[in-house]
Chains A and B, each alone.
Chain A
């Protein structure tokens, strides 16, 4: 098994076509999903006319920063966990030095990258907060009651790319090459899964907030 994972031809496969497929599926399906939601919204006679851009802006800014809303302040442990998790989840892969090098090797493009140490800490924090989320799913009664297999699955999907990346960087458990191949496989799985699972909240967040922000503005109320 280990020999198979370490095989250079497998590396060529996952590094080349698989990553292409993952990115194409991720981008293509995400565009399709957002467009589909927009078209459905357009069919609703009252939805789009009710959207008020200033309220949308206010609502998104109110909730995208920690401790702005009442619920973020009331549930501060969850707030800290979720913000640390999401910042690490979104920004570490984009600004990681090793990923930047890969972009540069393939297309000759590169951008600012995180210091190695900071990226390492952020990855570690994503792993820790994932475990906190898992604990919350298991031990918090109101979350346990509504958790089923797919909730644990989507948590696992976002957890394993970071775990394998972390292990590969430190060359623990498995030889570097093997761990990197696993890392790419999990990463590709995550990218592909985003548009098909409730991980799609990545882009639906902005749409659902737009609707609720406009509604509270319509009622003259505050966006808690």
Chain B
């Protein structure tokens, strides 16, 4: 077997990675136009807001954030995985060139911000100034998202949220059907166990994550058992706004993010519940 060829960055020779083919990055960059890239970058990152300028004008490049990053620690302390290095390779370079970067650079940027950062905010806990590096990485993700350069699976989840408001392409029928099926299943073990749908004025409104009705249906059954044992007056939403896993947030797709969260709160208001309980 031949040795695997490595990808070496044009701009940053220290950035060496294994190839990681992804339709979402490799194909989408082919249609990008330079003016489109420039306009997007300047609109998102060039904005004169306190959150962006505060970070850009304060960071002293001390590298103290690096020890916070699990990517840095787990890759033999490779400096290109440090949080500040991710800012250097993406946003500093973009702003230094005033948005005049090519499609290949956007692909490299997308790889860094989507596949080498978990948006965990630990770096801002380690920064002496408390600079929110994750916030900047999130905005770079937004640039990539607007340009459509996003790993395919993440983009698919976002499309699912935009279409049916959950991440697993479940229609409202599928959801109600799954809940009723689980009620039936658990009925074999417990007498009178119900999974109330859209019960007005219940105390607790429970929201699952997308994966629960799709691949881990027993979670619903177990939640019902727990609620019964605890004697909680609970309900689930009968509308299609039941999924709390807001994958659109990880792309900084603000429109879809907003719709998902608004849908959850609308349910609570509609059913006049006291508490919302989420799986996590």
Q: Using an 8 Å CB-CB cutoff, how does the interface string of A201-212 with B read, 1 for contact, 0 for none?
A: 100110111011
A78 and B61 in contact, given A37-B53, A142-B85, A209-B130 (Cβ under 8 angstroms): no
Report which of A43, A75, A144 forms a contact with B79, defined as CB distance below 8 A: A144
Q: How would residues 18 to 40 of chain A score, 1 for a CB under 8 Å from any chain B CB and 0 otherwise? A: 00000000000000000001101
> Is residue B253 contacting chain A, with contact meaning CB distance below 8 A?
no
Q: What are the residues of chain B within 8 A of A71 when measuring CB–CB?
A: 64, 67-68, 126, 128
Bound Cα distance from A224 to B68, whole angstroms: 11
The residue of chain B having its C-beta at the shortest distance from the C-beta of A147 within the complex is: B61
**A contacts with B: majority SS:** helix
Residues of A near B14 (CB, < 8 A) are 145
Q: Is A198 an interface residue (CB 8 A)?
A: yes
Q: In whole Å, how far is B42's beta carbon from the nearest beta carbon of chain A?
A: 17
Distance to closest chain A CB from B171 (angstroms): 34
The answer for the CA separation of A212 and B51 in the assembled complex, in Å, is 11
Bound Cα distance A70, B68 (Å):
10
Q: A70-B126, A142-B79, A208-B129 are in contact. Are A44 and B58 (CB under 8 A)?
A: no
Q: With A and B bound together, what is the CA distance between A59 and B60 in angstroms?
A: 19
A61 sits at the interface (CB 8 A): no
Which residues of chain B from 63 to 94 have any CB-CB distance to chain A below 8 Å in the complex? 63-64, 66-68, 72, 77, 79-80, 82, 84-85, 88
Taking CB atoms and an 8 Å cut-off, the chain A residues in 191-220 that contact chain B are 198, 200-201, 204-205, 207-209, 211-213, 215-216
Residue ranges of A at the interface with B (Cβ–Cβ < 8 Å): 37-38, 40-41, 43-44, 47, 59, 63, 70-71, 74-75, 78, 140-147, 151, 154, 198, 200-201, 204-205, 207-209, 211-213, 215-216, 223-224
> Footprint of A on B, CB under 8 Å?
12, 14, 48-51, 53-55, 57-64, 66-68, 72, 77, 79-80, 82, 84-85, 88, 124-132
